Structure 1
Amino acid sequence: MAVKEELIKLFEKNRGRYLSGEEIAESLGCTRGAVWKAVTNLREEGYKISAVTKKGYRLDSADMLSAAGVEKYLSHSCGVSLTVYKETDSTNIRLRELAVQGAPEGTVVIAGMQTGGKGRLGRKFFSPSDTGLYMSILLRPEMTAADAVRITTAAAVAVAEAAEKISGRMTDIKWVNDVYTDGRKICGILTEASFSLENGGLDYAVCGIGINVYEPDGGFPEEIRDIAGAVLDAPAEDARNRLAALVLEGFMRYYRELSENSFLPGYRSRLLWRGEDINIIRGDDIVPAKLIDTDERCRLMVRYEDGREDTISSGEISIRKRSL
């Protein structure tokens, strides 16, 4: 492993403490020149590292994403392998490339910024620098395409639980893939899959999760300002690393129990607009209905105005609360 990555781990283990160049070099088995070069490279990547004569170096970044920063909060049983970028086009794209190359289940790509993030139905996903958490998880499940929605719904519960633990505020889940706090969207989830031509099942699935941890400087863009929110009102020490670990721990636990639907009670208890009037939107068609619940296969249960009841799969469908 490069000196730079080893140095991040050392800084993470000694947060708040100065480490001399000699101490670092001895610990990492390298020269003091290599230490200086690694510090310079990390600063160029955005890490805030102070240097004081006769004291050494110290990591000052209060909330800097790193693989070492996430890993220190993970249990050994979580079973994930992390790659963390300061910036990338899309964590889903990066992970799909790794999936094609044979990367194992549990491979995770995380970024602090995306230049090409996307959500459901081809929409762009706003992914600014240093205020969000964007990650994708590679899965190789034995399931049909119809059951893949359970990956998305399990991820929604994992995010909701993690956000509640970090913020102390309750969350809601808007079917099928959005997490809300105080009526504002804090997370979107996009699961993309590759199908096997031999058996019609999944070859692999990539579960992409985008979370607004803080509101960006200057606020959210005008087109989403009325609906977007954030997990936290202000930056907090190591919040994004902690949040990433909580989401991964929760999701991987639910994923291993996916056939048992252990996530379903948490999903149903947070289901937004349960018992309320909604509009079901299919392209240009808008159909009024009442939202009843979700069934065991995570389909939306609705009742139309004529009294008929139906179950709806996600697909190319959106729902909105009906205005009075």
Structure 2
Amino acid sequence: MTTKESILALFEEQRGVYFSGEEIAARLAVSRAAVWKAVNGLRKEGYEIDAVSNKGYRLAADTDILSTQGIEKYQDPVCRTLNLCVLPEAESTNTLLREKANAGAPEGTVILANTQTKGRGRRGRSFYSPADTGLYLSILLRPDGMTPDQAVKITTMAAVAVCEAVEEISGKETWIKWVNDIYQEGRKISGILTEASVSMENGSVESVILGIGINVYPPESGFPEDIRETAGSVFDGKQNDGKNRLAAGVLNYFFKEYERIDRTDYVEKYRAKSFVVGKEITILSPSGNRQATALDVDQDCHLIVRYENGQTERLSSGEISIRLS
């Protein structure tokens, strides 16, 4: 860990507490000049660091910058072995993590970014990923013996984790639109993109890239015209360490479920959060759209639907449309 990273970790662990340059230098076994240089480096990266005579330095209490050190202080034991990498910018965290997965990166490798220049959503769509207002992260998983059809479990687990983290931190209720969209107060605040790599030898899943994008704050200039009526954000304005708390919360809740993936507790949570069940929906597909009623979410997280002709079907993937009232 560099001097700058060590100082940031110290400031994050005891946010708002002043440390003299001499004290920091002694703790880290570096010179006062190295401390001064590191503090200035953090300031250039956007960290608001107060300096007061006879007190020293401290990280301003209302700072909200995503960082490895900021996330780690909120992590539960289940996440302590994760390998976090926080980037100021990435084309796509999913694409970057796929490259690392192909190079042999282990399960638990996590990439987070402050912005994405080519964020990806489902069906090849772009995912709006502006700087400073969102949380964009991808998690590498290597589930043992999972079939491609079972990979929907990962998506639904993640949806539940996002709901739990958002509700804990914001105090606002969330809902899930099958299979991968999270809503709050009638607006979409999060999307999930799960991409699996399958073994040609036995047909099992070799790796899963779980991508999660969350609108933490509203963009300064507003959302783009095409999503302005549907997109929302977790918070209306800046929060004290909002992004680090939210990132850690999502990871904590997800890995608590993932480490006991053979249990189905999360399915009941998912079903309870669904605002689709019992509603009239439109199932979108390349062959044409069909009207149906969403009947239930089964234990494998498939959506059970009944078409207008009375036929029922279990959907393991796809896209639906529903009119929100």
Check if 1:132 corresponds to 2:134.
yes
Residues of 1 paired with 2:96 and 2:33: CA distance? 33
How many Å apart are 1:155 and its aligned residue? 0.2
Residue in 2 aligned with 1:46?
46
Paired letter, 1:22:
E
Check if 1:263 corresponds to 2:266.
yes
Residue in 1 aligned with 2:225?
222
Residue in 2 aligned with 1:74?
75
Residues of 1 paired with 2:120 and 2:132: CA distance? 18
Residue in 2 aligned with 1:34?
34
Residues of 1 paired with 2:90 and 2:231: CA distance? 22
Alignment of 1:219-298 (within 5 A): 219-283=222-286, 285-298=288-301
Check if 1:94 corresponds to 2:108.
no
Taking only aligned residues, the RMSD between alpha carbons, in angstroms, comes to 1.7
User: For the Cα contact (< 8 Å) 2:186–2:324, is it kept in 1?
Assistant: no
CA spacing shift, 1:292–1:11, aligned 2, 3 Å:
same
What's the CA shift string for 1:276-322, capped at 9, x where partnerless?
A: 111111026110111111112211110111111111121xx311115
Moved more, 105-114 or 204-213: 105-114
Paired letter, 2:47:
Y
Instruction: State the SS of the aligned residue for 2:270.
Output: helix
Residue in 1 aligned with 2:192?
189
Residue in 2 aligned with 1:83?
85
TM-score (norm 2): 0.94
CA spacing shift, 1:161–1:323, aligned 2, 3 Å:
closer
Residues of 1 paired with 2:3 and 2:324: CA distance? 57
Paired letter, 2:48:
K
Residues of 1 paired with 2:131 and 2:123: CA distance? 24
Moved more, 22-31 or 77-86: 77-86
User: For the Cα contact (< 8 Å) 1:45–1:86, is it kept in 2?
Assistant: no
Residues of 1 paired with 2:225 and 2:52: CA distance? 43
User: For the Cα contact (< 8 Å) 2:47–2:63, is it kept in 1?
Assistant: no
Instruction: State the SS of the aligned residue for 2:227.
Output: coil
User: For the Cα contact (< 8 Å) 2:78–2:255, is it kept in 1?
Assistant: no
Residues of 2 paired with 1:166 and 1:70: CA distance? 14
**Alignment identity in percent?**
53
Residue in 2 aligned with 1:103?
105
What's the CA shift string for 1:176-205, capped at 9, x where partnerless?
A: 101001110010001112222222111111
Paired letter, 1:256:
E
Residues of 2 paired with 1:203 and 1:276: CA distance? 36
Residue in 1 aligned with 2:24?
24
User: For the Cα contact (< 8 Å) 2:298–2:304, is it kept in 1?
Assistant: yes
User: For the Cα contact (< 8 Å) 2:121–2:191, is it kept in 1?
Assistant: yes
User: For the Cα contact (< 8 Å) 1:279–1:322, is it kept in 2?
Assistant: no
Residues of 2 paired with 1:174 and 1:160: CA distance? 12
TM-score (norm 1): 0.95
What's the CA shift string for 1:39-82, capped at 9, x where partnerless?
A: 22222222222333443222125211111111111122324221
User: For the Cα contact (< 8 Å) 2:18–2:55, is it kept in 1?
Assistant: yes
User: For the Cα contact (< 8 Å) 2:139–2:209, is it kept in 1?
Assistant: yes
How many residues align? The count is 322
Instruction: State the SS of the aligned residue for 2:320.
Output: strand
Instruction: State the SS of the aligned residue for 2:166.
Output: helix
Residues of 2 paired with 1:277 and 1:40: CA distance? 57
How many Å apart are 1:100 and its aligned residue? 2.0
